[in-house]
Amino acid sequence: MSKFKAIRIDKDASGYRATYSEFDESELMDGDVTVRVSHSTVNYKDGLAITGKNPVVRRFPMIPGIDFAGVVESSSHPDFKPGDAVVLNGWGCGETHFGGYAQKARVKGDWLVPLPKAFTAAQSMAIGTAGYTAALAVLALEKQGMTPDRGPVLVTGAAGGVGSIAIALLATAGWRVIASTGRKEEADFLTYLGASEIIDRAELSAPGKPLGKERWAAAVDAVGSHTLANVLAQTSYEGAVAACGLAQGMDLTTSVAPFILRGVCLLGIDSVMKPKAVRLRAWERLARDLDQTKLAELSQTIGFYKIMDTAADILQGKVRGRVIVEIG
């Protein structure tokens, strides 16, 4: 198959646009592994890339999609051979390197991890970068010494991709989870995932005090801006917050008070450039602790030609949990 379908993003004198298009295999970028892509997913970052609302894409034309799962077609990398099932998250795919919204991808083998035996390709994309990031956040909190006996853990953006999987992982680890969401209709869903308490995101989304009542020992924040500032201000003594998103904004207007008066730690979670060994630990944790029944409940499946509509919906907070894309 020299021709394959893909989403193409262009930016020129006529503006920024995403279209369903076709590429030739000769147009693929450099790499030592070529993958026949079977599944991808839609993350918040993908929504920004397709709509152009944030400068995610940094070269044109671009095939977006920061995740994919598929089967190796050809490889000169020592770790992979034709027929191997693989997963990719990040590494600039969909930003500076052609990504997963295509039937084929050529990438560096060092960017790939083997598909965990616990998951199908579709399940790995139900997890995707969002779920992998949630696992990284949980691992970072534990590395900081955070344990369930310290008190509850807060998860913001709880009904989103990162939040929903973070709740499931933390609940399995024995935490009492407080879920913050602006979608009250999702309360039952979040309780099913493992949340013990639901709070309205309005409690955290407006400018607040430099220091507030201690309410949680730890937090996973996918929202940023005023929300993250308020999360820090209400974290208990020597607690920790894992920050991994910017759904409310990239700004962070806070003070030094939580850090110098309570010893709170702010842990930055990068999912794009993580070394392979850390990626494998995150996927091992997901394979061990993520209930596949819950994974199915928090996932929906769409076809290739629904990607752009879903990308717009995810930016408007209309998407619950995770979206699997069948590339076809």
Q: Do the beta carbons of residue 219 and residue 154 sit within 8 Å?
A: yes
Residues 6 or more apart from 184 whose CB is under 8 A from it? 198, 200
Render pLDDT for 143-189 as a digit per residue (tens, 0 to 9): 999 999 999 999 999 998 899 999 999 999 999 999 999 988 999 99
**Among 27-36, 106-115, 207-216, 312-321, whose mean pLDDT is lowest?**
312-321
Q: 36: how many CB neighbours lie within 10 A of its CB?
A: 16
H-run or E-run covering 297: helix 292-297
For residue range 235-264, what is the model confidence (pLDDT) as tens digits?
A: 999 999 999 999 999 999 999 999 999 999
Average pLDDT value for residue range 89-109: 97
What pLDDT is stored for residue 328 in this prediction? 82
The pLDDT, as a whole number, for residue 242 is 98
- Hey, do 3-115+298-326 and 129-268 end up sharing a CATH topology, with the first three levels equal? no
What is the Cα–Cα distance from 114 to 120, expressed in whole angstroms? 11
The pLDDT of residue 322 is above 80:
yes
Query: Is residue 12 pLDDT above 80, yes or no?
Result: yes
Summarize the chain as % helix, strand, coil (round to 5): 35, 30, 35
Angle separating helix axes 276-289 and 161-172, nearest 10 degrees: 70
Q: How many CA atoms lie within 13 A of 196 on its CB side?
A: 13
Q: Which CATH architecture has domain 129-268?
A: 3-Layer(aba) Sandwich (3.40)
Superfamily of domain 3-115+298-326: Medium-chain alcohol dehydrogenases, catalytic domain (3.90.180.10)
Average pLDDT, the chain: 96
Domain ranges of the chain: 3-115+298-326, 129-268
Please tell me the distance from the alpha carbon of residue 308 to that of residue 328, in angstroms, as a whole number: 16
